[in-house]
Amino acid sequence: MKPALAKAIESDTLEEVGRATLQVVHDLKNQLNGLKLYATFLRKRLDQTDRAQEERETLRRLIAGLDRAARDMTALVRYARPMEIRCQPHVDLGKLVLDNIRAASVQQGKSEGFIRCEIDEANLQGQFDSLALSQAIAAITEQSFVKGGLDNRISVRLRKADTAPDEALIEWLQENPLGSIISGRSLEGYANVHIALAGKIIKAHGGRIEFEPKRIRVWLPLSR
């Protein structure tokens, strides 16, 4: 009975640690938001003076870093909690993918020709949570850009998969011969917390995700 008892105690301890960690992360995020307010105030004051450009750039980078840290913490909390999605019927997956690929490209400062998007003209509708799935697609696209290097070019392809029941297949393909989309693994095999959360969102939709060094594949069920 001792091994079973030890295992139960260990499980309870891990749950307590997990809950405490989430509370710490939540508190840290609030503190980061407060620091961002102070940094933003200082940046506005500097913009009204003749202070050196280096000082303004330092504050800009500080604010960007605080934003990234807050985003990471938000993703970590969402990853740790049970996934809740609110699916709507007849969501056009082609439009959802195209809109989010374009938005991610603009956010990364890439020109329109930097990413090639190929979308099948077949009926690619399904029951999806548009907001959650958009976040997953954006995270995977950002991962593709960041890991590929300065000369990174990617292709995103959406088509109907040769599977039964009907599924859509989204592929992110790395075109840079020296680049790699995935360079490390953690959190159930995913490269970072945002990719881990993306995988959890996709699985919550009844889909699946697969990683290769130069390719990420996502399958999602379509409406019958």
* 87, 127 contact by CB (below 8 A): yes
Give the helix/strand (H/E) hosting 221: strand 215-221
Residues 6+ away with beta carbon under 8 Å from 158 = 93, 94, 97, 117, 118, 119, 120, 124, 168, 169, 170, 171
User: Which of 171, 216, 219 shows the shortest CA–CA distance to 191?
Assistant: 216
SS (H, E, C) 107-156: HCCCCHHHEEEEECCCCCEEEECHHHHHHHHHHHHHHHHHHCCCCCCEEE
Longest dimension (CA), the chain: 73
The mean per-residue pLDDT over the stretch 171-185 comes to 66
Looking at residue 48, its pLDDT comes to: 74
Choice between 28 and 190, residue whose per-residue pLDDT is larger = 28
pLDDT digits (tens, 9 = 90+) for 54-108: 777 888 888 888 888 888 888 888 888 888 899 999 999 999 998 888 887 776 6
Residues 6+ away with beta carbon under 8 Å from 86 = 129, 132
Choice between 153 and 212, residue whose per-residue pLDDT is larger = 212
Both structure tokens of 176:
């840079």
pLDDT digits (tens, 9 = 90+) for 17-48: 666 666 777 777 778 788 888 788 777 877 77
Give the helix/strand (H/E) hosting 6: helix 2-47
**Encoded amino acid at 135, one letter:** Q
pLDDT at 185 over 60: no
Looking at residue 127, its pLDDT comes to: 93
> Which of these CATH numbers, 3.40.50.2300, 3.30.565.10, 3.50.50.60, 3.30.1330.10, describes 88-221?
3.30.565.10
